[in-house]
């Protein structure tokens, strides 16, 4: 089982506060053999107005290492692998990358990174580590 990210419990709590039910911690994707993967969280939310249920998977990254761009490269590669795995085993589930607001403002707001996010169709959950709340969803 993989180690939890620095902000794992904080993001879990923020999702619950936002009305999500945590259904897996971690979300285990059974692909067979050594290809099994673990995404940090699985959650679902009943959308009353639509009388529908939305399911998400959330990979949490703190970006506290010495090189934000290197961590971004790793997170992006991991995100793609998880997205493709979800398409195989849980295609109804949308994948999000959760990042701290401070990292989003300092790094993810840069023009080149925004272009990569857009071209990669990277869904983001931006959370405030101080208030322990989700501040923005970026599909």
pLDDT tens for the chain, residues 1 to 139: 667 888 999 999 999 999 999 999 999 999 877 778 999 999 999 876 556 789 999 999 999 989 999 999 999 999 999 999 999 999 999 999 999 999 999 999 999 999 999 999 999 999 999 999 999 999 8
Report how far residue 86's alpha carbon sits from residue 97's, in angstroms, rounded to the nearest whole number: 14
Which backbone phi and psi does 24 adopt, to 5 degrees? -155, 135
Question: Domains (ranges, CATH) in the chain?
Answer: 8-138 (3.40.1350.10)
**Which residues does residue 128 pair with via DSSP β-bridges, in sequence order?**
133
C-alpha dist (Å) from residue 96 to 6, 39, 61, 104, 139: 17, 10, 11, 14, 8
Q: What is the pTM of this model?
A: 0.93
12 contacts: CB under 8 Å, gap ≥ 6: 22, 25, 41
């Amino acid at each position: 089982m993989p180690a939890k990210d620095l902000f794992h419990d904080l993001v879990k709590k923020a999702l619950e506060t936002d009305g999500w039910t945590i259904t897996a911690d971690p979300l285990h994707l059974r692909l067979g053999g050594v290809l099994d993967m673990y995404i940090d969280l699985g959650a679902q939310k009943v959308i009353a107005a639509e009388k529908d249920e939305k399911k998400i998977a959330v990979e949490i990254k703190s970006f506290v290492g010495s090189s934000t761009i290197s961590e971004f490269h790793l997170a992006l590669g991991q995100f793609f692998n998880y997205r493709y795995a979800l398409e195989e085993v849980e295609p109804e589930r949308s994948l999000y990358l959760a990042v701290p607001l401070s990292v989003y403002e300092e790094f993810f707001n840069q023009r080149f990174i925004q272009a990569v996010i857009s071209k990669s169709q990277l869904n983001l959950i931006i959370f405030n580590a101080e208030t322990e709340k989700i501040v923005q969803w970026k599909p």
